Amino acid sequence: LQTAFHQQVVPPSAITSLFFGNTDGGLAGAGHEGRRVTFYTTGTEGFVAGPFQKATVDPEREGEGEGEGEDEGGDGILSLPGYDARTRPWYTAALERDDGAWGAIYPLFTGHDLALPPSRAVRDAHGRLLGVVGADIFVSHISRFLTDVHTDGSSLTYIMERTGLMVATSTGETPFLTDANGHPVDRLAASDSTRPEVAESARLILSGALPASGPAWGESLGRQTPQIHLATVTLGDARHTVTVTPFEDPRGVSWLIATVVPSAIYEGPIAAANLRAVVLIGLAMATVAGVSAMLIRRAMRPLADVAASAKAVGQGDLTRMVPDNRDNELGVLARAFNDMVARLRTAQAEQTRQLADLTDAEERFRNLFHSAEVAICNEDLTAMIDDLDRLRAKGVEDLGAFLRARPDMVRHLSEGIRVVECNAATRRLFRLDDPDALEGPITSFFGTGAFDVLVAEVCAIWEGRSEFRAEARLRAADGEELDILLSMPIPKTRQGFRSVPVTLIDLTERKQAEEALRQKNAELERSNAELASFAHVAAHDLREPLRAIASYATLLGRRASDRLTTEDSEFLGYIHEGALRMDALISDLLEFARVGRGARPAAAVPLKAVVEQAVALMRARIDLTGAKIDIAPDLPVIEGDVENLVRVFTNLIGNAVKYRHPRTPLRVVIGAAPVRGGGADPWPSWRVFVRDNGIGLPPGQGYEQRIFGLFQRLHARDAHGGGTGIGLAICKKVVEHHGGRIWAESPGENQGCTIHFTLPAA
């Protein structure tokens, strides 16, 4: 496959690389670095997910044999561990459309360019997915084309995605950001461009503030002919014309093509022509003005009636009308004036009706305000706003630090808050008999820590937030302190601070319930600790007679071996075996109960060291069975407890050794991959896996979850070396104690099994 792709990319083409990813996560492909000087092949080891290799290849040797990238003398130029084609954007994008798709633009591993990957799913005659074939097109080709278009440098064109990320530009600017080593770290937003024309026009386009002719952006989508939007705006100190052309492809491309041209290029000739036109128009207007003056004097006399009537209407007299019996323009004006007066009378009647409706609506609002079950009060904050304006004029910047150092100023600001109105629910909340008791300064109702909440509220107003919400302790009229959740919108205008609605919700009972729950939890923890101690002592006392039974059964078998029948010896064996099995069961149960109790605080743990320690503990069994343990070199650092994590890997490796296939050498692979936030794992974490080629699990019977239950065994008690059925339950408890989850996957019987579990990143 590498050879075939190499033969395809050698001829001149816009394609810089071709590749194929299969359903096992493997990759094979070939390509060049964009200028057809260096050719290479790419692929993963064994054509499955794993180490990624990129190797140079001589184009003159094409067709000499398969895999010339590595087997025929190629030189390795890049190696990456843990590559899985199924996680790449071009692979996932192709699965969403049967007719092919454009994947998301991404930086190349080499860091010298961005790639736009077209891809398409490949299926057999029965519709079964075989993999995805894809290609890379260097975005720099588009930038070079745009640069060639703008040879004079006076104007520029750039292309950005609708999210604002840069695709290509004629300015020569790299559309991605790099670290100190030249590796790409992020895409460049067009609004962060070093060219002010690009940055400012991109911000205007994305914010919707750019005026445009023609249909809105959304109406342009799906049209066969793209709609061009044009506007003239000021960027920096000069005027520019910006044209924006949407470019859409339903397979996954949604771009905006913007061209910025300085207006001075074409406004100079237009200004000269305008000057000539103004001179000619001025001469013509002077001639017309002389003739018009004589005609206007003659026409002004009949207009006096209209002027007098207009003055009367302006003073409120809507009964004044103008005679409209003329057939000339004055008659038309009179009829229009009379029609205007009639409309004003109608509008006045409509305004009277609307005022009545507004009065009714205000009355309904007042009724709703006073009958609401939620405590609401309206506060006047204008005096406090005046004080804040004076502090800002004095140059105060960090208001929070300023107020915390001046408690007297905080008290002064609180005196500038006045309650102008409150509803019945507020009076019930504060146990007030006088309806006007709250309408005044509010400091008398402050409880413990209320002044700190006031500082936070003042800072929220100072910073221009849209709302404020906080918990505060306020004092009722009878002296009881209440836990209150208060929330208020922060007005945008000074007039709005004259009446700010504040909602008060009583949290006292909920807080008391939370405290009671906390005490119950503390009691439960003490009870659990006592129960664990009891279980430890009881288990120790139970194991002692079991050891005695096993020892004396063995001793009796030795001393009376010549007098016992075969059946008697068999019965003694059952006694001895049962005692040992019960002792192992109690030991495993104790270990299961100890998980999560008395654990050390979580710390950064190198997972590779944990796995190596577990392998060392299992070395005797591993060497005895001839098993091969492959540990990925890039295992991450996670947050956890070393002792419990060693216990997990010891159980999982022991399980793989126990349930190995009798005719296949055992191979165990241990690796990890990052888990992005979202889904079942909302926090940054790692998915660790332990994969073996053992006897696997029967499909469709739910064993993938059942095996993690206590005492769950899928085989006879004595099969595969026996066991208590607690090992995987311990693994599950340890993983969940670390905030992760664990599950199993198996293609079927005799096809191996993979145990996955997640652990938090350090």
Q: How far apart are CA 125 and CA 122, in angstroms?
A: 10
pLDDT (average), residues 244-267: 86
Whether pLDDT at 702 is above 80: no
Give the pLDDT band (50/70/90) at residue 360.
confident
pLDDT (average), residues 247-261: 89
Give the pLDDT band (50/70/90) at residue 200.
confident
Whether pLDDT at 356 is above 70: yes
Q: How far apart are CA 54 and CA 27, in angstroms?
A: 11
Whether pLDDT at 63 is above 60: no
pLDDT (average), residues 107-115: 74
Distances (CA, A) of 533 to 528, 529, 597: 8, 6, 11
pLDDT (average), residues 40-64: 81
pLDDT (average), residues 147-165: 87
Give the pLDDT band (50/70/90) at residue 135.
very high
Lowest mean pLDDT among 273-282, 342-351, 410-419, 508-517: 273-282
pLDDT of amino acid 110: 65
Whether pLDDT at 124 is above 90: yes
pLDDT (average), residues 105-122: 83
Whether pLDDT at 283 is above 80: no
Cβ 731 vs Cβ 708: under 8 Å: yes
Residues forming a β-bridge with 254 = 248
Scanning 315-448, the segments in alpha helix (DSSP H) are: 329-371, 382-393, 399-404, 407-415, 424-429
Whether pLDDT at 217 is above 50: no
Whether pLDDT at 713 is above 60: no
Q: How far apart are CA 31 and CA 138, in angstroms?
A: 11
* Helix/strand/coil for 326: coil
pLDDT of amino acid 25: 94
Measured distance between the N- and C-terminal CA atoms of the chain, rounded to whole angstroms:
40
For the four alpha carbons of 132, 133, 138 and 143, in that order, the dihedral sign comes to negative
Model pTM greater than 0.95? no
Distance of CA 418 to the CA centre of its chain: 42
* Helix/strand/coil for 617: helix
pLDDT of amino acid 158: 92
Q: How far apart are CA 134 and CA 48, in angstroms?
A: 17
Whether pLDDT at 437 is above 70: no
* Helix/strand/coil for 12: coil
pLDDT of amino acid 552: 66
For the four alpha carbons of 258, 264, 265 and 271, in that order, the dihedral sign comes to positive
Give the pLDDT band (50/70/90) at residue 206.
confident
pLDDT of amino acid 448: 85
More confident residue, 602 or 587: 602
pLDDT of amino acid 574: 66
Lowest mean pLDDT among 82-96, 477-491, 696-710: 696-710
Unique residue bearing structure tokens 């006031």 = 454
pLDDT of amino acid 213: 38
pLDDT of amino acid 297: 62
Q: At what angle do helices 382-393 and 450-463 cross, to 10 degrees?
A: 70
* Helix/strand/coil for 494: coil
pLDDT (average), residues 536-550: 65
Dihedral through CA 719, CA 725, CA 727, CA 733, nearest 10?
A: 160
Give the pLDDT band (50/70/90) at residue 670.
very high
Distance of CA 455 to the CA centre of its chain: 32
pLDDT of amino acid 70: 34
pLDDT of amino acid 278: 72
pLDDT of amino acid 656: 86
- Which two three-digit tokens encode residue 196? 């002010």
Share of the chain above pLDDT 70, in %: 79
Cβ 508 vs Cβ 471: under 8 Å: no
Furthest C-alpha separation in the chain = 153
Burial classification of residue 209, based on how many CB atoms lie within 10 Å of its CB (0-12 exposed, 13-18 middle, 19 or more buried): exposed
Say how many C-beta atoms besides its own lie within 10 A of residue 375's C-beta: 21
Whether pLDDT at 327 is above 90: no
When the pLDDT of each residue in the chain is averaged and rounded to a whole number, the result is 79
* Helix/strand/coil for 160: strand
Torsion region of 654: left, alpha or beta (phi above 0 gives left; psi -120 to 50 gives alpha): alpha
Q: How far apart are CA 636 and CA 605, in angstroms?
A: 9
pLDDT (average), residues 662-690: 80
Q: How far apart are CA 189 and CA 156, in angstroms?
A: 17
Whether pLDDT at 529 is above 70: no
